[in-house]
Each structure stands twice: as C-alpha cells, then as structure tokens.
Structure 1
Amino acid sequence: MRIISGDFGGRKLVAVSGNNTRPTADKVKGSMFNMLGQFFAGGSALDLYAGTGALGIEAVSRGMAHATLVDKAYPAIQAIKQNVAATKAEDRFTVLKMPVDKAIKTLAEAGQQFDLILADPPYAKQEVMDQLAAFLAEDLLAPDGRVLLETGLDVDYPETIPGYTKLRHQTYGVAQVLILQRGDEA
C-alpha cells in the first residue's frame, strides 16, 4: 500500500493491524482519483472511515491544501498518524478519533466546508444515503463540492439522489465507486 501520485508519491503506508479494515487497492485508488480529475488546485478534503488515511493523504498529495481524516477505531488512528507523519507535512492534516455521524455534526458546528468528501464505509455498516443527506443538511459540502463513495455491491443507489448530480459510477470486483457533485438545488 502506497501513495500513488503527487507530492508524496511512492511513499509506503502502514496498514491497520487486524482484519477490521479493508484498504483500497492501489489500482482502484488510482482509478478513483483519475475519475476525480487526477490533480487538485487547493481546497479541503474530508476522509470518513479513513482506516489508514490513504484516500485523504492521496488527495493532499495530489494538490488539496488540507485533509481531515476521521475514524473511530484506535488502531486506525495510530496507523493514520504514522502515515501522516510519513508525509512530513503534518500541518496539512487534521486527525479526528470519533464516529462519522459525530464528526459530521462537530465539523458542521465549527462551520467547516469541504470541497471533496471521501467515504469508504465498512461494508457491513453502510448508511451512505443518510450521510449524503447530512452533508447537505449540515452544509458540510462546499458549492460544487464532490463526494466519492466506495461501497460494496450490496448498496443499491437510486437513479437520482436529491441534491446531487451523478458524475460517475464504476464497479471494481466486490466494490463500487460513485462520484457525485453537489447540485444547484442543494
């Protein structure tokens, strides 16, 4: 597992010990970021269910100014901190140890908005439709902001998702990736 491209490209990432996380394969991660537009010109990212922090770190490596990495598991937080330290740019990251729903509320109460929200929830606990609604209700997603979801194939997305425009939907083995953009009516 490594950072694929950008400022931190090629650096190895540590995995979370145990079997509670399911890191995104480098090939899938590369495809996901290629679908987003490859590189960014500033902005902020929110990586929910961060696990190793790989998605948020990749976003910063590719040009995002800052990423907030959220996970509730202590072993994940330890791995995230090690991986952030490996970038030698710790000031470009915020690490939060808390459940995703609490993080959404906490960040919204602080008036934070994100240009990119990355969510790779554990397959057994997917509440993505509720969380998509919360991103809009809490005004967490910036105007024209994007959401990248990596979920299991068991999630059946509706044809239209209120407040969002679907940009891309791709299947990779046992996972699917959905990229949404905040719509005008949001």
Structure 2
Amino acid sequence: MDGKPDVRIIAGSARGRILKSFKGPGVRPTTDRVRESWFAALGTRVVGSRFLDLYAGTGAVGIEALSRGAARAVLVEKSRQGVAVIRENLRVLGDLPEGAVRVHQGDAVQAVALLEQAGEVFDLVFADPPYEDLEAPQKVLAALGNARGLLAADALVTIQHSRRVAIPSESGCLVLRSERVYGETTLSSYELGAE
C-alpha cells in the first residue's frame, strides 16, 4: 500500500476485504469514515440501484456499492494505473452477474456525455475529483446538471470536494439538498429540481 492507509470494504458481501491502492497525482482514496457515513445515510437506497462512480481511483466507492447490493455499477477513471487497480480490486466481489460492472477509462466529464448518449440511467452518482483541480467539482457538477437523461427521477448526485471549494447550490437540473463536512472533506448532495 506504499505507506497509505488500507482501504477496506465496510459492509455487504465483501465486508472487511482490503483493496489495493496506488500512488499518483491527485490520488486520495475516499476515507473509510466518509464512505461509511455516506452509505449509512443512503440506507437501503443502494440495494438494486444503478451506480455511477466518477473519478473512481481505486474503485472503493463503486465496489462498496456493489458489495452493499447495487444492481449495476459503472466506474470511470482516467489513469491506466487506476483502471488496472480497479480491475484487480473487483476480484474481492467474486463472480458478478454479467453486465453488473463496467470500468471505463477516460475523462469523467466526457464520460457523463458518452454515458447519456448511450442511454445509461443512474440512481446514485458519486464524483470525487482531485482536490488539486479547484475547478473540477464545478465542471463535473455542470456536466451532470446538463445530463438530465442520465439521471433517474429520484437520483442522488454527490460531489466530494475540499471544504475550501465552494460549489453552486444549483446547476442545470440539479439542486443542492445537503452538505456534510468531514474535516477537510465536504460531500455535497444534489437531487433533481422541479421541472
């Protein structure tokens, strides 16, 4: 793990399994505490959901969703090294049904448009852009806010960002519903606004 804290699956079918990590620019896996709090707030909403993990890094958030019963997950990561680690980490889940998981290598903002064009629809979206790119949270939020077709009617979109970065309370079809602060980290959660 190269001196980084272990990343583990917190609950579900792969509970307690340790995931591999990697070093790289902007690599900062979502902490167990933040993931545990976010998934606890979701409750059973994750069961049977279609889950999108943007800036997936090690895949910890998307893999946690699958472990907790998400029906399908798409994990988007730009770096080749990250994609290789995600594929290796997916092994902790054992055999998954065909089509239950897809790993996409590419830019998260571009992936939003591609997934919408492909007719994908998600119930839960989690985006964890690198903290060093101060504009990334707004960019991915804008892309998601303009991708109405990508989001189920009751979709929840959560952006993880530095508490020092302010992001808008509305963007396209999305309206801020809650913010939770964990030290340096803020989780801003959005739902569809009234049409």
Give the alignment's TM-score, normalised by structure 2: 0.86
- Aligned CA distance change for structure 1 residues 159 and 179 (closer, same or farther; 3 Å): closer
Q: CA deviation at 1:179?
A: 1.4
Residue 70 (structure 2) aligns with: 64
Query: What is the CA deviation profile of residues 76-114 of structure 1, one whole-angstrom value per residue up to 9, with x for unaligned ones?
Result: 111100111221134421001111122112211111111
Q: Which moved more, 1:50-59 or 1:134-143?
A: 134-143
Q: CA deviation at 1:133?
A: 3.0
Would the aligned equivalents of 1:39 and 1:62 in 2 still touch at CA under 8 Å? no
Which of residues 129, 133, 137 is equivalent to 2:142?
Answer: 133
Q: CA deviation at 1:129?
A: 2.7
Residue 148 (structure 1) aligns with: 158
Establish whether residue 107 from structure 1 lines up as the match of residue 129 from structure 2: no
Q: CA deviation at 1:164?
A: 2.6
Q: How does 1:49-88 map to 2 (within 5 A)?
A: 49-88=55-94
Would the aligned equivalents of 1:144 and 1:183 in 2 still touch at CA under 8 Å? no
Structure 1's unaligned 5+ residue stretches are none
Query: What is the CA deviation profile of residues 4-42 of structure 1, one whole-angstrom value per residue up to 9, with x for unaligned ones?
Result: 011221111111234541011111110111122355231
Would the aligned equivalents of 2:109 and 2:139 in 1 still touch at CA under 8 Å? no
Establish whether residue 3 from structure 1 lines up as the match of residue 9 from structure 2: yes
Identity of aligned residues (%): 37
Would the aligned equivalents of 2:121 and 2:152 in 1 still touch at CA under 8 Å? yes
Would the aligned equivalents of 2:56 and 2:77 in 1 still touch at CA under 8 Å? yes
Query: What is the CA deviation profile of residues 123-176 of structure 1, one whole-angstrom value per residue up to 9, with x for unaligned ones?
Result: 122432332232242321111100111101222133444533433211111111
Establish whether residue 45 from structure 1 lines up as the match of residue 45 from structure 2: no
Residue 172 (structure 1) aligns with: 182
Whole-Å separation in 1 of the counterparts to 2:13 and 2:92: 12
- Aligned CA distance change for structure 1 residues 176 and 135 (closer, same or farther; 3 Å): same
Would the aligned equivalents of 1:17 and 1:75 in 2 still touch at CA under 8 Å? no
CA RMSD of aligned residues (A): 1.8
Q: Which moved more, 1:64-73 or 1:103-112?
A: 103-112
Number of aligned residues: 185
**2:110 partner letter:** K
Q: Which moved more, 1:69-78 or 1:8-17?
A: 8-17
Which of residues 31, 47, 61 is equivalent to 2:37?
Answer: 31
Would the aligned equivalents of 1:39 and 1:63 in 2 still touch at CA under 8 Å? no
Give the alignment's TM-score, normalised by structure 1: 0.90
